[in-house]
A and B are shown apart, each in its own frame.
Chain A
Amino acid sequence: MKNFLKSFAIASVIAAQPISVFAQDEGTLRITIDEGIIEPMPIALPTFVAGSGANEYVQKVTDVIIQDLVGTGLFRAIPKDAHISTITDFAAPVEYANWKAINADALVTGNATNAGGKLTLQFRLHDVTGQRNIGEGMQFVAGSDSWRRMAHKVADVIYARLTGEEGYFDSRVVYIAEEGPKNDRKKRLAVMDYDGANIRYLTDSNSIVLAPRFSPNAREIVYTSYETGQPTVFTMNVDTLARRALDQTPGMTFAPRFSPDGTKVVMSLADRGNTDIYMMDIQSAQKTRLTDSAAIETAPSFSPDGSQIVFESDRGGGQQIYIMDANGGGVRKVSNGNGNYGTPVWSPRGDMIAFTKMVNGRFHIGVMRTDGSNEKLLTASFLDEGPTWSPNGRVVMFFRETPGESGAPSLHSVDITGRNLKKIPTPTFGSDPAWSNLLD
């Protein structure tokens, strides 16, 4: 925990710093995420104290922090009307007995001030039973229109201190917003906060767009568009919306993903009916062919260290998952169960692969170790497809499509324990989600 702040580099947008020096204490309060039944940790999050100019922010900031933490399924917020005391002075000593009395294990106290368009959030995390702080108090400073991101950052710190793992709240999701009837679906690229807030549409619906993926720094995306008249991999800057076809040579390209260092894109190219995997260096536009079988090879995804690529192929008959070295060598089959496997995605921790499994007419999102062992199916439905990992590798988001003529897709997430399945709210139908890394 002492090193925690180091990983929280001061960013251009939101500055994070310790606000006071307490005796460093690892604390004993800790929730362990494992396969067992979890009793959510009771946590008290009284509304942040409103300092000067911050009245309009304190409730919504507090609400976002609560939603983030409770949304993980690991925490239970003790309702405000059960609180027997309030925090009116962030600097005053906490009366731990008042929080112990309502069975809070953890308590978050916070303060907000707003001056000259700059919002400052300060907070402390308390171990109620141990009557002490967990880690140092921290503050975030940024333009007040970034209040949501600041709240997510506070929640990320709380999550990290209580679970020992990195959070995932200050992150974004790029996906395909869908509207219209099933046989005339209009698709647009959209980006939003991980929780569905702050949606922005990046394209109009004139061309089919598919399967966007973030660059490592979340400023660029790669995706497939039909605007050239055929499926073509494009890159787009999420801020300026400037876009270009990645490969200027003709051919149908799709299923792109960035390398972990952001310098390359791995993707599929269909040539005379045969789909293989290619690596393209973004700067030089040099393209290297990685597979050359007559089978379908697609849906490539890098390992986090960039040394290997997981992909799907039907070279053995059905659709299955394989891993190769990043130069195309050393191919080995990974999936080994019944049914077909597709859309493999390497976890950010490097130890797991999430996938779509099709068996007996049902679709599942599952995870397995990179050697194919410990396969675990997390969901089941008419059509669940396209997992993407949370930045900390604890949650996968995917889309679920309902059957029939009014069938439509929507975004869902589920913990890799199989718990906490929930729908992500979006204003339209949604498919093909891709989660960013934690933002700077």
Chain B
Amino acid sequence: MQITKLAIAAIAVLSVAACDKNNGLDDGPMDGVNGANAGMTGNSDNISASNLDPSSIAYFKETIGDRVLFAVDQVQLAPEGAATLDKQAGWLIANPNVSILIEGHADEQGTREYNLALGARRASSVSNYLASKGVPDSRLKTITYGKERPLEVCSTEVCYSKNRRAVTVVAGGLGS
């Protein structure tokens, strides 16, 4: 039912069919849309699938993909990550008025200071990539959280791999 998840906030039915859910990254909570979803349950056959407003933050998070993941102790972008950032860059250029903050995060397998430095590197890696794709440098701000803000709480690679991330937060803190 991924389609239903995506359909909720749709106001206008737009023909952006490229709901790329194949990156496997996008399983975060849908902030602010669950209420609408609840109102439609029990009648899902009649829900007309449509797409998010492509200029919405929800679209950026869910459809573009707001995050890239990293290998252990690495800052290089994997091909999937670069593909996500290509889409981010296009979206950010098309939406020049949103503010951007790139958060760098690390998993818990490291010391605090090193992980802060590693998070800074990851955020910078994303920032540099977006700049290389035409997003003005002046719009790109970065912050590191090191291991301070884990998304997943288990202590295995399943969780670690999701915590080693850089999240592009647009227009005021809906991300991470």
CA distance in complex: A9, B147 (Å)? 44
CA distance in complex: A211, B117 (Å)? 14
Q: How many residues of B contact A (CB 8 A)?
A: 30
Contact A385 B112 (CB under 8 A): yes
Contact A183 B111 (CB under 8 A): no
Contact B118 A296 (CB under 8 A): yes
CA distance in complex: A263, B106 (Å)? 33
Which A residues touch B154, using CB under 8 A?
A: 404-405
Nearest Cβ on chain A to B102's Cβ, whole angstroms: 10
The verdict on A404 contacting B112 (CB below 8 Å), with A183-B150, A273-B120 known, is no
Contact of B148 with A by CB under 8 A: yes
Which A residues touch B124, using CB under 8 A?
A: 272-274
Contact A296 B121 (CB under 8 A): yes
B125: nearest chain-A partner, CB-CB: A273
Which A residues touch B109, using CB under 8 A?
A: 358, 361, 383
Which A residues touch B144, using CB under 8 A?
A: 231, 252, 270
Contact of B113 with A by CB under 8 A: yes
Which one, A298, A356, A405, contacts B153 given CB within 8 A? A405
- Per-residue B-contact encoding for A260-304, CB less than 8 Å = 1, 0 else: 000000001010111100000000000000000000101100000
Q: How many residues of A contact B (CB 8 A)?
A: 40
Contact of A401 with B by CB under 8 A: yes
Q: Among B109, B121, B125, which residue has the most Cβ atoms of chain A within 10 A? A: B121
The verdict on A299 contacting B113 (CB below 8 Å), with A181-B153, A210-B148, A407-B155 known, is yes
CA distance in complex: A275, B128 (Å)? 16
Which A residues touch B125, using CB under 8 A?
A: 273
Which B residues touch A275, using CB under 8 A?
A: 116-117, 120-121
Contact A298 B151 (CB under 8 A): no
Which A residues touch B151, using CB under 8 A?
A: 183
Contact of A200 with B by CB under 8 A: no
Which one, A185, A230, A268, contacts B113 given CB within 8 A? A268
Contact B117 A268 (CB under 8 A): yes
CA distance in complex: A404, B159 (Å)? 10
Contact of B108 with A by CB under 8 A: yes
Which B residues touch A273, using CB under 8 A?
A: 75, 120-121, 123-125, 127-128, 142
Which A residues touch B116, using CB under 8 A?
A: 210, 231, 252, 254-255, 268, 270, 275, 298
The number of inter-chain residue pairs (CB within 8 angstroms) is 100
CA distance in complex: A183, B120 (Å)? 20
Contact of B143 with A by CB under 8 A: yes
Contact B150 A182 (CB under 8 A): yes
Which B residues touch A182, using CB under 8 A?
A: 150, 153
Contact of B134 with A by CB under 8 A: no
Which one, A208, A231, A312, contacts B114 given CB within 8 A? A312
CA distance in complex: A342, B135 (Å)? 36
CA distance in complex: A386, B111 (Å)? 8
Contact A208 B120 (CB under 8 A): no
List CB contacts (< 8 Å) of B81-130 with chain A: 108-114, 116-118, 120-121, 123-125, 127-128
Which one, A211, A230, A296, contacts B112 given CB within 8 A? A211
Contact of B80 with A by CB under 8 A: no
Contact A403 B155 (CB under 8 A): yes
Which B residues touch A358, using CB under 8 A?
A: 109-111
Contact of B152 with A by CB under 8 A: yes
Contact B113 A270 (CB under 8 A): no
Contact B113 A404 (CB under 8 A): no
List CB contacts (< 8 Å) of A298-343 with chain B: 298-299, 312, 314, 319, 342-343
CA distance in complex: A375, B144 (Å)? 32
Contact B113 A343 (CB under 8 A): yes
CA distance in complex: A405, B150 (Å)? 11
Contact A270 B117 (CB under 8 A): yes
Nearest Cβ on chain B to A277's Cβ, whole angstroms: 11
Contact B143 A230 (CB under 8 A): yes
Contact of A127 with B by CB under 8 A: no
Contact A296 B142 (CB under 8 A): no
The verdict on A432 contacting B112 (CB below 8 Å), with A273-B121, A296-B117 known, is yes
Nearest Cβ on chain B to A397's Cβ, whole angstroms: 15
Nearest Cβ on chain B to A322's Cβ, whole angstroms: 14
Nearest Cβ on chain A to B138's Cβ, whole angstroms: 14
B150: nearest chain-A partner, CB-CB: A183
A294: nearest chain-B partner, CB-CB: B121
Q: Among A254, A270, A403, which residue has the most Cβ atoms of chain B within 10 A? A: A270
CA distance in complex: A343, B110 (Å)? 10
The verdict on A383 contacting B114 (CB below 8 Å), with A183-B150, A231-B144, A273-B121 known, is no
CA distance in complex: A312, B116 (Å)? 13
Contact of A4 with B by CB under 8 A: no
A318: nearest chain-B partner, CB-CB: B73
Contact A299 B152 (CB under 8 A): no
Which B residues touch A383, using CB under 8 A?
A: 108-109
Besides the contacts A274-B124, A275-B120, A275-B121, what 7 more A-B pairs have beta carbons closer than 8 Å? A181-B153, A183-B149, A185-B148, A210-B148, A272-B124, A319-B114, A358-B110
